[in-house]
Structure formats: structure tokens, C-alpha cells
């Protein structure tokens, strides 16, 4: 049996693609590099949009990346059910692409925040979170200046009612996100975005605050192997 293939996208200015690819391999998958300018998903089974400052965050974080040639392929594939995970800048891109509701704005405290962050897993009905248990408390690194999740009251009420809030900050909200939201999913559940960084928390060796990030990658690989 060949390993499940998870695409890892690199835009100009992406920072975390190497860690993301390493995390995929660590969990036993094959990491397939995808290039922003190449409109080819290379037949991958899932896609990871890593963090960084794609296109320099010009205009708004993720606003330019959304129109990259690769995204022209990725957006319809994601709408059709391809599992997609976006962390940090990847989450911002998913919101700008309207694959996820709401938007991410400058942290309420205006400062860039880099710290180990408590997070509660609120929803395990996604291909990226099935290896967690609902209500599980985990710790992941956060590092961002624009991570304050906002949505209009109707959208916020709908995602809360629909179980689309996947992660919530605990022990202090780092950025002023509405309802302490750290991550959300789309209605179907195949697309998940979060500000914290699971790909930086898979190995003790790197000084990560935990290895809680591993479950993201074991979740998706189990899902891909079993379908």
C-alpha cells in the first residue's frame, strides 16, 4: 500500500512549509510539494496550507494568495470535498478565498504574539481532528500579528450552532478573537483553519511545548487510508 499523499503549498513568503512536510512524513504520509504558480494539485489526497507571510501580506493577509494559479485548482477541489487544513497564514488564505466564513484581523492588542497557547478541541467531526477527543485540552505554539477572528453576528451564531468552531483558546485569548475562536471548519467539515501551529508541535526534540500537533496528521492519514 502506498502512503497517503498530502500536498504542502509554498507561496512566495511561506515560512512553515518545511515543518509541515516534516510533520506529514513523521506521521507516515508522503508530503508532496505544491508550488503557488503551478496550477496542479498533483493528485494529492489532502492539502496543507502552511503559515508565513505569503506575498508579503500585501493588501491584506492572504488577499493576493487567494488568486494564485494553484488556488484556481484548490478552491473548486476543496468545495468538492478535498480535505484542506490551513494554519496561521493558511487560515487567513482560506477566509480570503471564502472557503471559510469570517476574517482574521490585526490582534486587538496590536502586538505580534508568540507563545505556547492552551487550546480546547471543540469538534472532532473533521478529517483533521478525529484523533482528538471532544473537550480535550492541548497546547500549541501561536505566532501571529493578525489572528483576531471576526464574523458578523449572524455568521457567528450560525457557526456556533452548527458545531463549526473547532478550537477555542483557553487560559487567555491571545488576539481578541470573538468567542475565543482559534479555529473553525466549513459546514461539510473537510476544510479546517486555525491560527495555532500543529506542525511545530510534533517532536520533543525541537523544544515544542507538546506533541499535540501529531493528532492532526495521524487523523488525516487514518482518514485517507480508510477511504
- Kind and range of the H or E element at 182? strand 181-185
104 in Cβ contact with 113 (< 8 Å) = no
Distance separating alpha carbons of residues 198 and 217, to the nearest angstrom: 9
Would residue 197 show up in a list of annotated catalytic residues for this protein?
Answer: yes
Among 21, 23, 95, 195, binds another protein (CB under 8 A): 95
117 in Cβ contact with 80 (< 8 Å) = no
Among 37, 59, 125, 225, binds another protein (CB under 8 A): 59
Cell 473533521 maps to which residue? 126
Would residue 111 show up in a list of annotated catalytic residues for this protein?
Answer: no
* Joined grid coordinates for residue 204: 520533543
Q: In terms of CB distance, is 129 or 175 closer to another protein?
A: 175
The catalytic position among 26, 36, 61, 88 is: 88
Would residue 88 show up in a list of annotated catalytic residues for this protein?
Answer: yes
Minimal distance, residue 60 CB to another protein, in Å = 6
> Phi/psi at 113 (nearest 5 deg)?
-115, 125
According to the binding rule CB under 8 A, does residue 107 interact with another protein? yes
Residues with catalytic annotation? Answer: 88, 197, 199
Binding site for another protein (CB under 8 A): 59-60, 63, 67, 95-96, 98, 101-103, 105-110, 148, 150-152, 176
Amino acid at each position: 500500500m502506498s502512503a497517503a499523499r498530502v500536498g504542502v503549498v509554498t507561496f512566495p513568503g511561506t515560512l512553515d512549509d518545511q515543518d509541515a512536510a516534516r510533520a506529514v512524513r513523521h506521521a507516515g504520509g508522503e508530503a508532496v510539494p505544491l508550488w503557488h504558480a503551478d496550477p496542479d494539485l498533483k493528485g494529492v489526497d489532502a492539502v496543507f496550507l502552511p503559515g508565513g507571510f505569503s506575498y508579503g501580506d500585501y493588501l491584506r493577509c492572504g488577499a493576493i494568495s487567494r488568486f494564485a494559479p494553484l488556488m484556481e485548482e484548490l478552491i473548486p477541489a476543496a468545495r468538492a470535498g478535498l480535505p484542506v487544513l490551513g494554519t496561521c497564514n493558511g487560515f487567513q488564505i482560506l477566509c480570503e478565498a471564502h472557503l471559510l466564513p469570517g476574517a482574521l484581523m490585526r490582534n486587538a492588542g496590536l502586538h505580534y504574539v508568540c507563545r505556547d497557547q492552551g487550546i480546547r478541541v471543540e469538534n472532532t467531526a473533521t478529517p483533521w481532528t478525529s484523533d482528538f477527543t471532544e473537550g480535550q485540552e492541548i497546547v500549541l505554539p501561536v505566532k501571529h500579528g493578525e489572528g483576531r477572528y471576526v464574523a458578523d453576528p449572524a455568521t457567528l451564531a450560525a457557526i456556533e450552532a452548527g458545531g463549526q468552531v473547532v478550537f477555542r483558546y483557553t487560559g487567555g485569548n491571545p488576539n481578541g478573537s470573538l468567542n475565543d475562536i482559534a479555529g473553525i471548519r466549513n459546514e461539510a467539515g473537510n476544510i479546517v483553519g486555525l491560527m495555532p501551529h500543529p506542525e511545530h508541535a510534533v517532536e520533543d526534540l525541537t523544544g515544542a511545548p507538546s506533541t499535540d500537533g501529531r493528532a492532526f496528521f495521524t487523523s488525516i492519514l487514518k482518514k485517507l487510508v480508510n477511504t
